[in-house]
Amino acid sequence: MDLYGRDLICTQDWSFSELVAALDLAARMKRDRFSARWASILQYKTFIMFFYNPSVRTRLSFEAAATELGGHAQFMTPSAGRFKTQQQAGETIEDAATVMARYAAGIGIRILEDKVPYYGAGDEMLLEYARWADVPLINMADDRFHPCQALADVMGWAEWYGEGPGRPDYEALRGKKFLLAWGSGALARSWCSVQAALLIASRFGMHVAMAHPEGYELDPEVIGWTQANCAAHGTGFDVVHDPDSGYEGAHVVYCRNWVTPAAYQDGVLQKQAEIEKAMAYQGWTTTAERMKRTDNAIFTHPMPVDRGSEVTDAVASGPRSAIYDIAENRLHVQKAVMALTMGNL
């Protein structure tokens, strides 16, 4: 599978066989993590990490991935340069991307909801960087998609329904029910992780269900892709607007808070207004009682977890929680993606 030079901005951009190739390599790297066979794939190569938004898991996992592949991850924020925005003059994306590509073997960008003037602006920026950079562009989370998280998610689910860590069984996911449930909370989260989860679950043949209050609909284009993915596998896509019924027969439960489609006004995320809307909906928490309605489901979450609002401690730290396994998998899938797109395999 030749993925050298490819961008990863959304999992829909890669074929199913390309996704599987990356996941298979990630599993091999997990089983034999510190083998010398991986240690020089990025030797003498630099990966630029451009963070508009901070992250514990994203920064640490990409830095560790580059190190374990023999390369170097270089941290950068917008304050390190003078970049053109709607409010100020500065360097254009064309110039910045072209120069970065002369220095590095790959570029990663993370830009989320509070750093963009409208939904989709972050994703548009990544596409513009990818247009001008002649090295791979990896989406480290934008306001629409989070592909590395999605790969870590599906690898974790397949490990739980497979033979354990490093031995996922993706066929075991086919036909199983994936529930994406809106969660209570005051974090005003973006759509990227939940939309990435919908897309990857449906690509791997899972029956998809969504549960959210009225007014919390997601991107219509992403919903359309999810429906098409399900149709291609002969599985279903259901939406309910109560906090209980979606749990019936579920095998994977993913509960997370997200904002409404009206989150932006006059070029600004209305964070406080979104928090107030969300807090008006009580009772949308994943609890042990709700998990009993499932088919012995695992609980999944991209972290950080809003414990007590999105999910109770009993579930998040319970025996069927996959959250730490999936957090670890960020390292392995990113190593695989970096190796395939910018390495010497």
| Rounded Cα–Cα distance for residues 146 and 143 (Å) | 8
The CATH number of domain 150-324 is 1.10.10.10: no
- Give first-to-last CA distance, the chain, whole Å: 11
* Structural class in CATH, domain 11-144+327-342: alpha beta
pLDDT at 61 over 90: yes
State the average pLDDT over residues 286-308: 97
The pLDDT assigned to 91 comes to: 87
Summarised one tens digit per residue, pLDDT across range 115-138 is: 999 999 999 999 999 999 999 999
The yes-or-no verdict on residue 84 having pLDDT over 60 is: no
> Nearest-CA neighbor of 288 among 263, 320, 246?
320
For residue 182, pLDDT over 80 is answered with yes
Hey, what's the torsion of the CAs at 339, 335, 255, 116, to 10 degrees? -70
pLDDT at 186 exceeding the cut of 90: no
Residue 85, C-beta contacts closer than 8 angstroms, at least 6 positions apart:
none
The ranges assigned to domains in the chain are 11-144+327-342, 150-324
- Note the pLDDT tens digit of each residue in 199-222: 999 999 999 999 999 999 999 999
Give DSSP secondary structure letters for 52-93: SS--HHHHHHHHHHHHHTT-EEEEE-GGGS-B--SSS--B-H
Query: Among 220, 212, 152, 180, which Cα is nearest to 11's?
Result: 152
Q: Which residues neighbour 226 within 8 Å (Cβ) at sequence distance 6 or greater?
A: 198, 199, 202, 208, 237
73 is written with which tokens?
Answer: 């991850």
pLDDT at 307: 96
In the predicted structure, residue 80 carries a pLDDT above the cut 60 = yes
